[in-house]
Structure 1
Amino acid sequence: MSETNMPKILITGATGQVGSKVINYIINSDEASNVEIVAAVRSAAKAKPFTDKGISTVIFDFDNETTHAAALKGIDRLLIVTGYTVDMLRQSKALLDASKIAGVQHVVHLGACGRDDTTVAHWAWHQLVERYIEWSGFSFTHLRPETFMQNMLSYGGKPAINNGVLHQYVQGARKSWVDVDDVAHVAALALLHPEKHAGRVYRLGYDAKSYYEIAELLTKQIDKPFEYQPQAPEVFLQNMKDAGAEMAYMSCVYDHYKRYAAGTIPGADDTFDNFPEITGQQPTRWADFIEKHKSELGY
């Protein structure tokens, strides 16, 4: 327990779409006065938006292990959100080893899709991190979100829809989807109430749709024509090479796009009924998401 006798929660990925929303959920919750949030940032410039709101910050870099001990001092609960590179394996191990020394009690890990027996490579990497968390003896909550609905707003810093045309790489496959807001809500509750959520693996996906079906919903709700034009996974692979992306990870993404298209990922469209039990609310489904983001999805 921290020196203030209030649990301190360290949020990695605090400036990202999940981490920032987790912080907002916590500071706007009824329990906000019972915990201290600490945002992990890589520079003083990135700290300023948090300090302006009265949120504590620490300098932390997944790739600089000398920052770990100071960032973890007095921390009781930890949210781990790593980036999209194979380095996530080394980064997670180093952080967890330092967290054990620092006395962290509860770890909430943002993982990836998949059943326990998945052979999709980058999903399996996250499950290996889950096992290391358990082996290290932490109290834990594992989050396995399905595909983020926000990927339809932008992906890789570029719009995902251009003049009503969706280009994706999975042919007519149906995928399971989740709103990032819902993922953040579950993460916040797991950090606020570890006694309720310890030892749980939460798969988070609440609407199964193909891109053809999403285009139909967009057309109906926005009252403009939308069309899905599937592209070969090889187009994605070349785009990532051209963008200078980390290819060990993106090659795995390319491979799983091929498997989606071929229909060889078991449970690709699995959906779950756990959200009301966890949060007391209904999850966001595609019709809700489109209504919420009409201005961004329109053209």
Structure 2
Amino acid sequence: MPSSKPTVLITGATGQIGGDTLRRLRADDTITLVAAVRSPAQAAAFEAQGVRSVLLDFDREETLAPALAGIDRALLVTGYTVDMLRQSKAFLDQAHLAGVRHVVHLGACGPDDTTVAHWAWHQLVERYIEWRGFSFTHLRPETFMQNLLSYGGTQVVQAGLIRQFVGDARLSWVDAEDVALAAAQALLHPERHAGYTYRLGYDAKSYHEIAAVMAEVLGKPFRYEPVAPEVFLENMRAAGAEMAYMHCVYDHYKRYAAHTLPGADDVFDNFPGIAGQEPVRWRQFIEKHRAAFDY
């Protein structure tokens, strides 16, 4: 007899948000959990943990239909390239054919009228999810606090020095683990979270202010040194990054630094209603990651 439990697919299961979401859901016996992976080696790792896996590669469209067969709910997490538009459409088309009912989409910052290009790409995906007729929950995290741990595989805070590209702008921040908690709740309880767009940002601070909190918590000097956004662009080009996306990031760094992004430091009070607890704020995040920031 087939299981009456809803089957939940986690894309991005080997990444930060997808991986954290999957870990939060593993112990819940009200669902059947499935990890989407791109290789047999990744599949074997999940199977060893008792987690069912399916082969799904956004760039190999022939993998989509088999991976989505029998799925009831899905977390959609795409990579940081302009290909996310094509990938998301192909995934959602196949999800619609497969009878997936609820989609939780990991999007990006911003209000509905944003003109930041890569934020707007995510909003186009949101509209496509709605047009396709899915029950949905849209997650729009503000800037991840984890960006202070590493970015692009590079340590960001080195011997008390933070070098970033947004001048003295105040940004709205969220712990990525809180984003995963919101995703998990939306996947477990679509009846509560369907139809909502959750903007997730809970502590507004500039890098100067973050450095001051680090110094207070850790008892050592920390300081922030602003760097021209052009340096970021050249670093990404040298690293061989996908430059269509990185030009968008460069553009929004410039707009942050020029204070021409309205609402960049907006914070929200929705997290207790989503997750039943308070969100992590900077002091708590620094305490939690003390070993990574200390020197």
Q: TM-score normalised to the size of structure 1?
A: 0.98
**TM-score when scaled to structure 2?**
0.99
Pairing partner for 1:248 from 201, 223, 244 = 244
Could you tell me how far apart the structure 2 residues matched to 1:3 and 1:56 are? 16
What does residue 37 of structure 1 align with?
Answer: 33
The answer for the alignment partner of 2:20 in structure 1 is: 21
Greater CA deviation, 253-262 or 4-13? 4-13
The residue type equivalent to 1:261 in the other structure is A
Instruction: Indicate the residue corresponding to 2:66 in structure 1.
Output: 70
Map 1:268-283 onto structure 2 (within 5 A).
268-283=264-279
Q: 1:164 and 1:125 mapped to 2: Cα distance? A: 35
Q: Equivalents in 1 of 2:43, 2:282: separation in Å?
A: 34
| Cα contact 1:3–1:74 (8 A) shared by 2 | no
- Aligned-partner Cα distance in 2 for 1:40–1:11: 6
CA contact (8 A) 1:260 1:268 kept: yes
- Of 147, 150, 155, which aligns to 1:151? 147
SS at 1:114's partner residue? coil
Deviations 1:203-259 (A, max 9, x none): 000000000000001111111111100000000000000000000000000000000
In 1, Cα distance between equivalents of 2:282 and 2:63 = 40
Preserved contact between residue 170 and residue 258 of structure 1 (Cα < 8 Å): yes
**Matched residue pairs, number?**
295
Q: How does 1:89-128 map to 2 (within 5 A)?
A: 89-128=85-124
Aligned pair 1:183/2:175, yes or no? Answer: no
Partner of 1:11: 10
Q: Distance in 1 between matches of 2:209 and 2:156?
A: 16
Matched position secondary structure for 1:166? strand
The percentage of counterpart residues that share the same residue type is 65
Structure-2 separation of matches of 1:251 and 1:48: 37
Aligned counterpart for 2:206 among listed residues 207, 210, 234? 210
The one of 198, 221, 229 equivalent to 2:217 is 221
Q: By how many angstroms is 1:48 displaced?
A: 2.4
Per the TM alignment, residue 53 of structure 1 is displaced from its structure 2 partner at its CA by: 1.3
Match of 1:174 among 134, 159, 170: 170
Question: 1:59 and 2:58 equivalent?
Answer: no
Specify which of 67, 70, 81 is matched with residue 85 of structure 1: 81
In 1: Cα distance, 2:166 partner to 2:82 partner: 23
Amino acid at match of 1:199: G
Q: What SS does structure 1 have at the residue aligned with 2:92? A: helix
Partner-residue secondary structure (3-state), 1:108: strand
C-alpha distance in 2 between matches for 1:291 and 1:68: 41
Amino acid at match of 2:234: Q
**Residue 44 of structure 1: CA displacement?**
1.1
CA-to-partner distance for each residue in 1:158-207, whole Å, 9 max, x for gaps? 10111111000000000000001100000000000001100000000000
User: CA-atom RMSD, angstroms?
Assistant: 0.9
For 1:155 and 1:52, the matched residues in 2 are separated by: 30
Q: Secondary structure at the match of 1:95?
A: helix
**CA deviations over 1:39-85 (Å, ceiling 9, x no partner):** 00000111222111100000010000000011001000010000000
1:285 correspondence with 2:291: no
AA aligned to 2:10 is I
- Structure 1: state its 5+ residue gaps: none
Q: Quick check: 1:264 aligned with 2:251?
A: no
Over residues 99-146 of structure 1, what are the superposed CA-to-partner deviations in whole Å (9 max), with x where a residue is unaligned? 000000000000000001000000000000000000000000000000
Most deviating of 44-53 and 289-298: 44-53
Counterparts of 1:202 and 1:285, CA distance in 2 = 17
CA distance in 2, matches of 1:109, 1:276: 20
Q: Specify the code of the residue in structure 2 equivalent to 1:94.
A: A
